[in-house]
Amino acid sequence: MNVQELTVAAQSLTFEQRKELIKSLFAQQPKPNAEGASILWVGDLAAGTEEIRQQVSASLERSARELCADDAEP
């Protein structure tokens, strides 16, 4: 499943379920073994989390616009 498919699938989840999904995905990431690498890993984790949040947000906004458009039609 790619990020786009995951984003679409995550729309039906509650906030808590999405939070657990993100934790689970990042738990699967390889862990660094050096202190310097851990700083990079934390940066990657933050960037990855932000990317997922942005994609989920954009997907939810699209859904909301579609629902509003559907409601506006006679």
- Whole-model pTM: value is 0.41
pLDDT one-digit tens code per residue, 3-29? 778 777 878 888 888 888 778 877 887
Instruction: Give the C-alpha separation, 55 to 34, whole Å.
Output: 31
Digit-coded pLDDT (tens) for 24-47: 877 887 766 655 555 566 667 777
**What pLDDT score does 40 carry?**
62
Are residues 29 and 49 in contact, defined by beta-carbon separation less than 8 angstroms? no
DSSP for 48-70, written as a single string: HHHHHHHHHHHHHHHHHHHHHHH
Contact between 26 and 45 (Cβ < 8 Å): yes
